[in-house]
A and B are shown apart, each in its own frame.
Chain A
Amino acid sequence: MNNKNTHLSRKEAEELLNRYYDGLTSAEEETRLRQFLASEEADGGMFDADRAVMGMLLTRRQQQHAAGLPYFKIAGWAAAASIVIAIGLWPQPHQPECIAFIDGKQYTDQTLILEKMRSTMNTITSIDNAVGMETQMKTIFNPQE
């Protein structure tokens, strides 16, 4: 990284990130990396995980410096915590335990959805006599105890 005072390209940022994870970057290089990750050029998903990891490490380092502990001593734990945080921050659809879409409208009322489930399963499993007269067939290959 010779151009210390210029903006990082994506390729330069990738190289610098690899050095960062190896613990070889200087404070100045880390500052440039953080500036790059905060810029629009780092948008698009490719650097999201790096952004989360660096953010976590920086926070932990500041906390540990305040407490008088060396930075790299806690780097491993911080990296592990960063993974958890990054997973939590990763953009994905919100998936509550109960969710229903009825005629295109979303519902999350647990009581309503549970009642709908019971009603649906009742409809499925209520086999009337007429159906029973059809070519009903039960096949058991391996009975479940």
Chain B
Amino acid sequence: MKRFTLITIVWLMPLITVVAQSGLSIAPYFDGRYNKSKDVVSLNLKGSTLHPYHLMLYRSLTFKKSTPDIEHAILNDAKLAIDKETAHRDGRLLYGFYCLPPTSDKAPLRYIFYRRTANQTILAYLEGTATLDALKHMFK
């Protein structure tokens, strides 16, 4: 029994690192599937580097050519939003900024940013304490 308990603990610990976006429809797009793709830029930042931006986690995917159908996933997650700003063109989402509630009392806020231009489509997932408005103006 002691052995079982110990090994269970050891097995469960790595899972802590992958719960960041669990439960969100966009989560699968950040599982590393585009790491080796041409015409895709995948950025992953966490830790002290992001403290000046009041962020704890930053992940983004920039698709420069073919874009997977991520709009439905975003719209699904958008149902959880407590703050958002969106625009549509020709019936499709042009951009969307969403603030999602924390997963627990002590957890940070979650943000989803989506932007579609003529040349590229960007999906970003962030975690931190800044407001959506603050984030929007922080990088201008």
Contact = CB atoms under 8 A, between A and B. Distances in A.
Interface residues of B, number: 60
Given A126-B140, A135-B88, A144-B82, A120 B45 contact: no
Interface residues of A, number: 53
A21 B3 contact: yes
A125 B120 CA distance: 14
B82 A131 contact: no
Contacts of B36: 101, 104
**Interface residues of chain B: helix, strand, loop or mixed (majority):** mixed
A22 B124 CA distance: 50
B94 A104 contact: no
Nearest to A103: B38
B35 A104 contact: yes
Interface stretch (A4-12, A34-42, A64-72, A92-100): A92-100
B108 to A, nearest CB: 12
Contacts of A121: 60, 113, 124, 135, 138-139
A100 B6 contact: no
A120 B44 CA distance: 12
A108 B83 CA distance: 33
B7 A49 contact: yes
Interface in B87-139: 87-89, 94-95, 97, 99, 109, 113-115, 117, 120, 122, 124, 131-132, 135-139
B75 interface: no
Contact of B87 (A110, A117, A127): A127
6 contacts: A18-B1, A90-B10, A97-B49, A127-B87, A134-B88, A144-B132
Interface of B: 1-3, 6-7, 9-11, 13-14, 17, 32, 34-49, 58, 60, 62, 81-89, 94-95, 97, 99, 109, 113-115, 117, 120, 122, 124, 131-132, 135-140
Interface of A: 17-18, 20-22, 49-50, 52-53, 79, 83, 86-87, 90, 92-93, 95, 97-104, 106, 110, 113-114, 116-118, 120-127, 131, 134-145
